[in-house]
Structure 1
Amino acid sequence: MVSSVNQPRPLALTDLMRPHPRGMPVTLVLLTLNGVVFALMLASGGGLLHAVNEVSLAWGAGFGPATQDHQWWRLFTAMFVHFGVMHLALNLWALWDIGRVVERAYGSLRIGGIYVVSGLVGNLASLVVQGNQAVSGGASGAIFGLYGALVVFLWRERRLIERREFRWVMGASALFPLLMLVFGLWIPEIDNAAHAGGLLAGALLGCGTAPRWDPGRSTPAYPPWWSGLLLTAGVLALLLCMPDPPYRFGEEVQARAAIQRFLQEERKIHQRWDVLMDFRQGEQLSFDQMAEQVDRQITAAYQQSFAQLSAVQPVSAVPSQQALSELQAYAALRSEAASKLAEGLRAHDQEKIDQAMMQARNAAAQARKSPAQALPAPVSP
């Protein structure tokens, strides 16, 4: 008769799936952090149901031209950026469902490492595949890494688990990521690259870090060096396959900021023009006084705006290049028209005044076709 004292204790998966909150601190921290970031995004103008790209990028979403423009920290921050409450809810549910099991199986320190590294690798894979095609974010790459680690753990400890329970849990753990990858073939909003990258990274990390559940042993299931070597080789391959960005994101930000400053100044110039027109129509300004005010408040303002726009010289082909060039031309034409208007006012030359006003109207009409913003036409004095 063989004694059962030295036999391995059967692994109760039901115990792993019902941990006390004290037994899953990292999972709770990750759940809270994702929720808090989403709430802060909403407070800063993000959408409840749909993403607002400007807000998502401001909070660290992944985007090829931005990440590759010395903003590599986006590979980490994108894990906590979600595009709407449904996106967040699905990821939080999955994180709760898988995180509590993996944290009990691997321990708090290991699950934290698996989550972060899987998320980084998943976002790197997304960067290689998506490039500049989409803004990406979400915890799913990291969560898929937890699924990969759990599958490795279950397979490693399969002899300690009751067969029916093993088939049920193993099937569910493998089926969910497989179905999501299949859905991603038809649903473009699903980032299959991040999911696949995170899944493989989590599985490799699980191979190297999974503790044994045999009584009295806590050594890794497999030698850690080979899984680490494969993971390192995969990351290097992704870095070598990374496409060149079509433009530098920092230059696009500068161009947009210059355009926004110009449009704000344009509104102020038109307010000044309206005030001058009121004074002129009330006969409170002579032609000479009107000419002086046009030079000081209109011509000088357009010359300054033109100089500010011209100071922005993107080296790469930024998306706002066309709008920037068109507004530079518009500012130059309006400055020239304002200068001619002042000359016509001083000379009391109505024909020259009319020509200057026509030039200003033509410049405004041309600018309305610009992708930047429609601009109002000036009113004759």
Structure 2
Amino acid sequence: MGPEIFGPLVAAVGLGATLAGLIDFGSNSLSVREMAAKRMDLGGFGSRLSGKLLIGTAGLTLWAVTFFVFARDSFLWVAGPIAFSQLLGQSFVVPLRARGRTDLLAAATLIDRLTVACCFLVLHLMDFGPQHMLWVAMAAGPVVSASVTRWILARDQKPDLSWSVSVNPWRNAKHYGVSSAAVSAQSLDLTIMSLVGGASVAGVYGAVNRWTQPMSLLAAAFTTSTAPLVAKMGSWRTAWPLLKRSSMLIGGAVLLCVGVAVFSEPLVAVLVGSDFADSAAVLRILAVGTIGAVLNQPVAAFLQALGNERAVSFITTSGVGIQLMLVALLTWAMGSIGAALAFAVLQTIILTLLLVTIVVSRRRSLIVIGRHSRGVRGR
């Protein structure tokens, strides 16, 4: 399967990830914070989850059927099952994230990845069409992981899926939702590249753009286990002693990024062959840009956990919007290299703005504390 076929397929898979993020609209992240702070119980989460899954299933079914009937060759219909599986997988680990159960979260992620690999191998041995093996395997992984999580890993924290018309699944998730939708919209880069640069350009980029996922998974493991602690503790200072040891995950992710950047050419030659030789330069730039993405994850999550979700929402949304515009412009001018540069530059800018937000928020806290102390002395 060459870049011409691979490009539209990975673009549809990326679109599926975007749809999943739009349907969730930050409700999972909000639920993690509220459950960690003991402001939401399993019953409340179950009611929200039921409504979201019901509405999401109806919408994604309509999407898949419509594009399968009227635009089957575009592969846009594939985004439907991909979005549903990701929505399911991300939702059922919320109780584990809220409790900080990194061991069970790691097990759920491992089950997901092993299912994808095994499914892909079985379909390959069955001579299944190469254009369908990828999306079927990627859709199967989160579904199996969600099933195992609900019935085995989190059986003592299993929410009751009882839907009520009066429960809004996205209540109070506005700022979380905007940030989540913006992050999900990053997956539209492949779709934009297909439109601007053609299937071959998207295929060269899509062949390696997911190779930085292991580094992102390490950052996600650290973030999902520690963000609830930050929300519970209420400040950076009190939470840091509990975060210090697990911060090695971030260091490991950064080192992996450096290694991939250095050895990008032999990695591409061995794993995908000479047809994708141009992907080596793309992978190198993506690996460097992922260093910023790895650091952005926990910084943004900690700011949200401490009540700064509005600032994070603005930074993330504006950053991703600029990135996608740059993807279109630089793809037209430089091909797949341009899209990789857009990713790397914007991740660095977003990280800088998040760090500035930390400094500003800490200064405001000190000013408030100082005023309070003077008021007490004055009495």
Shared fold (TM-score greater than 0.5)? no
When normalised by structure 2's length, the TM-score is 0.32
Higher relative contact order (CA 8 A, sep 6+): 2
When normalised by structure 1's length, the TM-score is 0.32
